[in-house]
């Protein structure tokens, strides 16, 4: 049976014992978040995720959303789940207290986000994209706009969207056509946007669209893009809801997965909108939202992988088939070595991915008061997003494989996780975009300075970690390999202009597996400390086994990806187009 049980204990271990090194409260902004408080928050979140949101997942996929005359109909249970989530104050956790938020660091709310995404991935986009919209409005909007809209967004009375993509402009926003014409104290927005997640629904009182558009005198390219707040329903002078704005959902997309999520084509016909930030600075404003959403997609990847893993474990324990070398009677398939390989692969990778997401979020939190953390947060973001979303494809595929033929049919639910997961490598910038961002802006752009600092920090921490000498040797070899590859790129990218683009995927994956090895060492060190300080030996021994397995089985991929990079771009770029 496909039931979801939020792994609160694993989340607490990742956040407090690995990221926080059992001293989370010593960091600025974390003083009030001790173990007892966090357990209370996460246990409450676990209840709403597992008991109220998760039961909507199957019908969300089976029934999906539909549209008629511009109105979107959602599956049963969605409205009740949304109301319960809002009434519980869950959207407010990490939002500005001046506008009704609770002001917690994003790291504290990330486990809650993971639970909600695992419970129903389609439904969760409604509330979690709103969080990203809130960040953009809070960071860049005028005081007047914040006063009008931010409290309603934070409370969940209003929800938010991100409107970037157009039919002729996918990831290349430089050819965007949507226009914004000044009209007194507002602008008239005209154009069409596609792939707008939850662009239309009736679950909230209003929908606030953040729309990229061009002013009439804007320069060409991305430097001429501005950001606008465009409400579905206009506000009266007394702040009550007024007349409907001139925008509508034209259709909803029929997708491979996330059937329970309304992905809309939106039409704006001289819709009333308000400028956010400065003219022609829209992309910079939107990146506040996008970077937040990119870490969010990495968290989604952990969530779907966890949901798939839980179902696979339950199936493997129940499914009786075949014998093993040590049994005379038929056994549950979890006893077969290859099934154990698959399950431990899933468990090991998920635990590393979870810490990576929390660590990246933690660096973002620290950066708010300590600017020296900004570069580290920026460096980790494309690694976290790309690596976690790519591994999510493998993990959900493995879950289907464990189910065998029963995984390939829809009844078990394993296929849904596989289908839903596919969007994560595309959302908020594809893996290729993340990889190019890492190798171009974040690595070559500063001549490898921040990357070198990270590698040196990993090297120092490995030396002081509580892992055996063989593991230290393997990790040091991986670090040495990454340093050599980094030097190779910096020394050759000008002579071989195609080198960065041709090696970017291998580079981001190499760094993902290396950072994963660092995290595995931290997991083992934290788990050994836990063994000494508590009597929960089963839990901590399992952490040591799964992280040791990661170092044995996946750290060697650092060398493999590195070797591919050092072959350069010649074979990739020399094939004539007509031969493809």
Secondary structure (DSSP) of 11-60: HHIIIIIIISTT-GGGSTT-TT--HHHHHHHHHHHHHHIIIIIGGGHHHH
Count of C-beta atoms within a 10 Å radius of residue 328: 7
Q: Which residues contact 211 (CB under 8 A, 6 or more apart)?
A: 163, 178, 189, 193, 227, 228, 229, 230, 268, 273
**Strand locations in 246-348 (E):** 247-252, 263-276
Is residue 355 within 8 A of residue 521, CB to CB? The reply is no
Model confidence over 524-539: pLDDT tens digits?
999 999 999 999 999 9
Decide if pLDDT at 501 tops 80. Answer: yes
- Res 326 pLDDT > 90: no
Residue 473 lies in a domain: yes
Q: Is the pLDDT of residue 222 over 90?
A: no
Do residues 422 and 334 touch, judged by C-beta distance below 8 A?
Answer: no
Helical ranges in 413-536 per DSSP H? 414-421, 431-436, 449-463, 469-492, 499-533
- Tell me whether residue 49 is in a domain: no
CA distances, 552 to each of 273, 341, 513, 556 (Å): 55, 12, 12, 7
- 476 falls within a domain: yes
Q: How many angstroms separate the CA atoms of 225 and 174, rounded?
A: 8
Closest CA to 471 of 454, 479, 507: 479
Percent of the chain with pLDDT over 90: 93
Give the model confidence (pLDDT) of 469-484 as tens digits. Answer: 999 999 999 999 999 9
Residue 192 has pLDDT above 90, yes or no: yes
pLDDT band at 383 (very low <50, low <70, confident <90, very high): very high
Tell how strand 206-213 and strand 158-163 pair up: parallel
- What's the pLDDT band for 324 if we cut at 50, 70, 90? confident
What is the tally of structural domains in the chain?
A: 1
Of the listed ranges 221-225, 294-298, 304-308, 374-378, the least confidently predicted one is 221-225
Secondary structure letter of residue 169 according to DSSP: B
- The Cβ of residue 539 has, within 10 Å, a number of other Cβ atoms equal to 14
Q: What percent of the chain has pLDDT over 70?
A: 100
Look at residue 108 and tell me whether its pLDDT is greater than 90. yes
3-state DSSP assignment of residue 471: helix
**HSE-CB of 411 using CA atoms within 13 angstroms:** 4
Q: What average pLDDT does the segment 447-459 reach?
A: 97
Q: Locate 115 and state its tokens.
A: 């639970």
Known catalytic membership, residue 428: yes
Across 156-170, 281-295, 546-560, which has the greatest mean pLDDT? 546-560
- pLDDT given for residue 285 in this prediction: 87
Strands (DSSP E) contained in 241-400 are 241-244, 247-252, 263-276
Nearest to 306 by CA among 40, 23, 6: 6
Residue 89: pLDDT above 70?
Answer: yes
Token representation of residue 114:
């993971």
pLDDT at 328 over 90: no
Per-residue pLDDT, averaged over 155-160, amounts to 97
Would you say residue 161 has pLDDT above 80? yes
Q: What is the pLDDT of residue 154?
A: 97
pLDDT averaged over every residue in the chain: 96
Q: What is the mean pLDDT of residues 142-148?
A: 97
Question: Which two three-digit tokens encode residue 79?
Answer: 């409205």
Q: What is the mean pLDDT of residues 208-236?
A: 95
| Domain-embedded: residue 564 | yes
Q: Which residue has the higher pLDDT, 510 or 22?
A: 510
Domain extent for 496? 431-574
Rounded Cα distance between 548 and 520, Å, is 7
Pull the structure tokens for residue 536.
């929960």
The answer to whether residue 333 scores a pLDDT higher than 70 is: yes
24-53 pLDDT, tens digit each: 999 999 999 999 999 999 999 999 999 999
Nearest to 263 by CA among 398, 152, 165: 165
Q: Provide the pLDDT confidence category of residue 2 given band limits of 50, 70 and 90.
A: confident
pLDDT at position 325, please?
A: 83
Q: How many CB atoms neighbour CB 466 within 10 A?
A: 14
**DSSP label of 370:** -
Whether the per-residue pLDDT at 171 is higher than 80: the answer is no
Whether 389 is covered by a domain: the verdict is no
User: Which of 520, 443, 528 minimizes the C-alpha distance to 486?
Assistant: 443
> What would the pLDDT profile of 114-132 be if each residue is shown by its tens digit?
999 999 999 999 998 999 9
- Orientation of helix 121-140 relative to helix 78-87, angle to 10°: 40
Does the residue 315 lie in any domain?
Answer: no
Residue 163, pLDDT > 90, answer: yes
pLDDT of residue 290: 82
69 is a domain residue:
no
pLDDT score of 169 more than 80? no
Q: Active site residue: 272, 300, 359, 428, which one?
A: 428
The reported pLDDT for the residue numbered 450 is: 97
Q: Assess contact for 150 and 143: CB atoms under 8 A.
A: no
Say if residues 18 and 362 touch (Cβ distance below 8 Å): no
Cα separation, 319 vs 333, whole angstroms = 6
Residue 575 contacts residue 545 (beta carbons within 8 Å): no
3-class secondary-structure state, position 11:
helix
pLDDT of residue 1: 58
Q: What is the 3-state secondary structure (H, E, C) of 366-432?
A: HHCCCHHHHHHHHHHHHHHHHHHHHHHHHHHHHHHHHHCHHHHCHHHCHHHHHHHHHHHHCCCCCHH
C-alpha distances out from residue 554 to 464, 559, 562, Å:
22, 10, 14
Distance CA 310, CA 303 (A): 11
Is residue 236 domain-resident? Answer: no
What's the rounded Cα separation, in Å, for the pair 271 and 140?
21
């Amino acid at each position: 049976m496909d039931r979801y049980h939020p792994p609160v204990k694993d989340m607490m271990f990742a956040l407090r014992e690995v990221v926080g090194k059992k001293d989370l409260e010593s960091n600025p902004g974390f003083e009030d978040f001790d173990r007892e408080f966090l357990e209370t928050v996460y246990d409450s979140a676990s209840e709403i995720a597992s008991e109220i949101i998760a039961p909507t997942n199957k019908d969300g996929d089976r029934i999906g959303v539909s549209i008629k005359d511009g109105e979107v109909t959602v599956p049963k249970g969605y409205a009740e789940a949304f109301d319960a989530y809002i009434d519980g104050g869950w959207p407010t956790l990490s939002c500005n207290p001046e506008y009704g938020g609770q002001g917690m660091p994003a790291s504290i709310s990330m486990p809650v986000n993971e639970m909600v995404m695992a419970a129903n991935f389609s439904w969760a986009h409604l509330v979690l994209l709103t969080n990203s919209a809130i960040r953009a409005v809070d960071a860049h909007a005028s005081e007047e706009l914040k006063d009008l809209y931010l409290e309603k967004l934070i409370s969940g009375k209003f929800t938010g969207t991100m409107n970037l993509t157009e039919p002729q402009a996918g990831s290349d926003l430089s050819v965007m056509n949507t226009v914004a014409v000044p009209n007194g104290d507002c602008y008239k927005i005209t154009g069409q946007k596609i792939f707008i997640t939850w662009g239309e629904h009736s679950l909230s009182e209003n929908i606030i669209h953040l729309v990229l558009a061009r002013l009439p005198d804007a320069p060409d390219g991305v430097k001429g893009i501005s950001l606008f707040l465009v409400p579905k329903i206009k506000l009266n002078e007394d702040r009550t809801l007024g007349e409907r704005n001139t925008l509508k959902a034209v259709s909803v997309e029929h997708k491979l997965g996330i059937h329970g999520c309304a992905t809309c084509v939106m039409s704006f016909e001289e819709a009333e909108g308000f400028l956010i930030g400065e003219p022609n600075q829209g992309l910079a404003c939107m990146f506040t939202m996008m970077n937040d959403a990119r870490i969010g997609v990495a968290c989604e990847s952990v969530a779907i992988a966890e949901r798939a893993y839980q179902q696979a474990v339950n199936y493997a324990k129940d499914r009786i088939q075949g014998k093993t070398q040590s049994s005379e009677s038929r056994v549950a398939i979890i006893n077969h070595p290859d099934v154990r390989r698959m399950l431990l692969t899933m468990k090991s990778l998920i635990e590393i991915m979870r810490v990576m997401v929390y660590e990246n979020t933690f660096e973002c939190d620290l950066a708010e008061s300590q600017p020296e953390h900004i570069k580290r947060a920026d460096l980790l973001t494309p690694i976290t997003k790309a690596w976690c979303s790519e591994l999510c494809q493998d993990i959900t595929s493995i879950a289907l494989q464990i189910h065998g033929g029963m995984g390939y049919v829809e009844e078990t639910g394993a296929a849904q996780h596989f289908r839903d997961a596919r969007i994560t490598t595309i959302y908020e910038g594809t893996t290729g975009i993340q990889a190019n961002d890492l190798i171009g802006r974040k690595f070559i752009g500063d001549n490898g300075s921040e990357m070198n600092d990270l590698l040196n920090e990993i090297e120092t921490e490995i030396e002081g970690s509580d892992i055996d000498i063989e593991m230290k040797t393997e990790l040091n070899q991986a670090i040495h390999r990454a340093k050599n590859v980094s030097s190779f790129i910096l020394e050759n990218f000008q002579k071989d202009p195609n080198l960065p683009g041709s090696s970017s995927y291998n580079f981001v994956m190499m760094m993902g597996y290396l950072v994963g090895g660092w995290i595995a060492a931290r997991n083992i060190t934290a788990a050994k400390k836990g063994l000494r300080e508590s009597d929960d030996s089963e839990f901590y021994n399992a952490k040591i086994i799964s992280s040791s397995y990661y170092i044995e089985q996946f750290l060697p991929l650092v060398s493999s990806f590195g070797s591919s990079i050092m072959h350069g771009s010649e074979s990739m770029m020399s094939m004539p187009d007509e031969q493809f």
